[in-house]
Amino acid sequence: MTTLGGIIALPDGSTVKGNVSFTDRIARIEESSSAGHDCILPGLIDLQVNGSDGFDVMRATPESLLELGRLLAREGTTAWLPTAVTAPIEQIARSHDAIAEATELSRASGSQSAAILGMHLEGPFISPLRLGAHPKLNLEPRGDSFESVLAMQSLKLITLAPEIPGALDAIGRLVARGVIVSIGHTNATLEEANAGIAAGARMFTHLYNAMRPLNHRDPGVIASALAPSPAFAALIPDGVHVHPEMLRLAWRARGKSGMLIVTDKVLLANAVANPGGSVGRGRASIRDGAVRLADGTLAGSIISMLDGVRLMIDKVGVTIGDAAMLAATNPANLLGAIDRGRIQLDARADLIVLSRALELKAVFLGGRELA
């Protein structure tokens, strides 16, 4: 059994100074005034990873997805959703199959790779008015294309626009099949967004980005995301996609129980010498702290989940315990993964240890420390 001591982040956002003991599961949590000053957090869970380190989820083999998972784990992310984006249905199906195979390989090998918890499909059922960096291959969620997506057994989360024809019926069918629906890449009015929530949507994808803008006479989808609801507001905390003041606004509106953070990172994250690459509908490069197409359109981030935690603490003023909720507990709750994303008895011993300066000191996956 391994024991770590320090400031322990608990599932409700509070912290306690003490020791946590574990094998593959957490066996004991004890308060101790002499436990030290490291911060012990649950492993971080990223719901939106398009790629990193030169790996692109849309083109990845099962083996390269496992390698990407190993790299994510070394950043403190212990579970993730590989994210496919708008593309021909046949290409999405190939990505789905690679993700499904990688999931099985990871379970079979017991490899020290961040766990794949399913696929996030961002598109193609999105608004043609809010494509962002996506190609113009958007579809309505009905007919053969939708049936093909609905049949994808590893599909865990899907981003769609609730205002497009057929969307509300599609949300109901997806939810009935156990798929989590997120509202995003949308030109929805306030009423249309609220209808999506009523139909079963439980998240907003990268709030503020690729959405109808907030207006005091036309509140739109952003007002729906900032209001109390069962749908989490997901944000990209890189300081580029969302200005820190707007992150603070979301924090004041939704608080620790109503929001979560994602990276939306793409293959250029951690790339050597910023070589550029194909992202979404065109070539992209890193400029001004994020990935952009040639016309300046944002096409993803280059941060890790831990970078996001640091920004939320430094720029927004959340506590370390609250940040753990945003980056681990809330994503786990959304996925229904009740044994992940929390430090409590019998939960998986997926843990990260940070210094007082929030530097990553150790990562444990199922109780095993990464070398």
Residue 286 — very low, low, confident or very high, per pLDDT cuts 50/70/90?
Answer: confident
- Please tell me the predicted confidence (pLDDT) of residue 261: 98
- Is the model's pLDDT at 272 over the cut of 90? no
- Residue 317 is encoded by which pair of tokens? 């003023």
Domain edges within the chain: 43-337
What single string gives the DSSP state of each residue in 95-128?
HHHHHHHHHHHHHHHT-SSPEE--EEEE-SSS-T
Enter the DSSP assignment of 221.
H
CATH fold, domain 43-337, is TIM Barrel (3.20.20)
> Which residue shows structure tokens 């971080």?
44
- Please tell me the predicted confidence (pLDDT) of residue 199: 98
User: Where does the chain have alpha helices with state H?
Assistant: 62-73, 89-109, 143-150, 167-176, 190-199, 220-226, 244-254, 305-311, 320-324, 330-335
Residue 232 — very low, low, confident or very high, per pLDDT cuts 50/70/90?
Answer: very high
User: Where does 227-265 have alpha helices with state H?
Assistant: 244-254
Strands 155-160 and 119-122: parallel
Before 213, cis peptide (omega within 30)? Answer: no
CA 87 to chain centre: 20
For the sheet with 277-279, list strands across it. 277-279, 282-287, 290-293, 298-300
| Largest CA-CA distance found in the chain, in angstroms, rounded | 62
- Is the model's pLDDT at 281 over the cut of 90? no
- Residue 200 is encoded by which pair of tokens? 């079963």
Round to the nearest angstrom and report the end-to-end CA distance of the chain.
17
| 1-16 pLDDT tens trace | 999 999 999 999 999 9
Q: What is the mean pLDDT of the chain?
A: 95
Say what angle helices 143-150 and 89-109 make with each other, to 10 degrees. 0
- Please tell me the predicted confidence (pLDDT) of residue 285: 85
User: Mean pLDDT over residues 262-279, rounded?
Assistant: 80
- Is the model's pLDDT at 226 over the cut of 90? yes
CA 28 to chain centre: 29
CA-wise closest residue to 329 among 265, 264, 262, 260: 260
Cα(293)–Cα(281) distance, rounded to whole angstroms?
A: 8
CA neighbours closer than 13 Å in the CB half-sphere of residue 112: 16
Residue 276 — very low, low, confident or very high, per pLDDT cuts 50/70/90?
Answer: low
| 234-253 pLDDT tens trace | 999 999 999 999 999 999 99
- Please tell me the predicted confidence (pLDDT) of residue 312: 98
Say what angle helices 62-73 and 89-109 make with each other, to 10 degrees. 60
Structure-model confidence comparison of residues 176 and 34, the more confident one: 176
| Options 53, 238, 264, 307, the catalytic residue | 264
Q: Confirm whether 53 is a catalytic residue.
A: no
